Amino acid sequence: DAGVIQSPRHEVTEMGQEVTLRCKPISGHDYLFWYRQTMMRGLELLIYFNNNVPIDDSGMPEDRFSAKMPNASFSTLKIQPSEPRDSAVYFCASSGVTLKAFFGQGTRLTVV
Amino acid sequence: AQSVTQPDIHITVSEGASLELRCNYSYGATPYLFWYVQSPGQGLQLLLKYFSGDTLVQGIKGFEAEFKRSQSSFNLRKPSVHWSDAAEYFCAVGVRSNDYKLSFGAGTTVTVRA
């Protein structure tokens, strides 16, 4: 398995634009997590899914953030409209029955 | 509320010396404990985990960690550090009642000097 795959690796966008981050979890994993990492706040859990169903989105900072998981092999995190304070590294992770979370390499988002 | 504390923000250690990174947690239930390592520009890689059983767990890259329930700690150790161990290390905790979602500590940055 290629591991958790995130795209793009880097994204630079202008304030106000829509940004979509993508994640392909490891096949067979039934949990998918979206994290945000910043210097100020460290690693924060934004939302997680179990069997494609959102379970807890209490970490999503604002209504500008939304996440979907239309099937077991794909998830998106969308920010609309984006703001400079959204600049961070966004990680996707997946886990299965072993409870070990495997992380993607992250998407570094810069909003200018 | 659950919390994970890594008291040391930054540690500098000489190559070949031993390393210990501290992690304390606050949970009402029996936690599942993890250590992850993040190299610059990379994602997080799992070093080791503790679920139950032997409180001394072995991980990859020569790391080990010891769970001490009485101290609510899960400290990470390595007997002899290599330059490639320079990275940021995160302790994480999950509980079964919370769907095992992980709460992370703030991380400890390790610098290895020659």
pLDDT in tens, A12-43: 999 999 999 999 999 999 999 999 999 888 89
- In the chain, the amino acid numbered B105 is G
**The predicted structure's pLDDT at residue B98:** 66
| Token reading at A92 | 């996707």
Distance from CA of B38 to the nearest CA of A (A): 10
Beta bridge partners of A95: A31
Strand-strand pairing, A53-56 and A42-50: antiparallel
**The predicted structure's pLDDT at residue B87:** 97
Task: Point out the residue among A31, A42, A104 whose CB comes nearest to the CB of B43.
Answer: A104
**The predicted structure's pLDDT at residue B88:** 96
Q: Which stretches of chain A sit within 8 Å of chain B by CB?
A: 4, 31, 33, 42-43, 45, 48, 50, 55-56, 91, 93, 95, 99-106
Closest chain B CA to residue A10: B41
Task: Point out the residue among A4, A42, A55 whose CB comes nearest to the CB of B104.
Answer: A42
Q: Which residues of B touch A106 (CB under 8 A)?
A: 42-43
More confident residue, B53 or A79: A79
Q: What is the number of other CB atoms lying within 10 angstroms of the CB of residue B28?
A: 9
Distance from CA of B45 to the nearest CA of A (A): 7
Task: Point out the residue among B36, B42, B105 whose CB comes nearest to the CB of A105.
Answer: B42
CA–CA separation, B12 vs B22, rounded Å?
14
Report pLDDT digits (tens) over A37-87. 998 888 999 999 999 999 989 999 889 999 999 999 999 999 999 999 999
CA angle, A7 then A8 then A10, to 5°: 140
Q: Do the beta carbons of residue B29 and residue B95 sit within 8 Å?
A: yes
Q: Which residues of A touch B92 (CB under 8 A)?
A: 101
State the sign of the Cα–Cα–Cα–Cα dihedral A24, A26, A27, A31.
negative
CA B76 to chain centre: 5
Q: Which residues of A touch B30 (CB under 8 A)?
A: none
**The predicted structure's pLDDT at residue B99:** 67
Q: Which residues of A touch B60 (CB under 8 A)?
A: none
**The predicted structure's pLDDT at residue B23:** 97
Mean pLDDT of B23-38: 88
CA–CA separation, B78 vs B82, rounded Å?
10
**The predicted structure's pLDDT at residue A25:** 97
B37 touches chain A (CB under 8 A): no
**The predicted structure's pLDDT at residue B43:** 87
State the sign of the Cα–Cα–Cα–Cα dihedral B26, B48, B35, A66.
negative
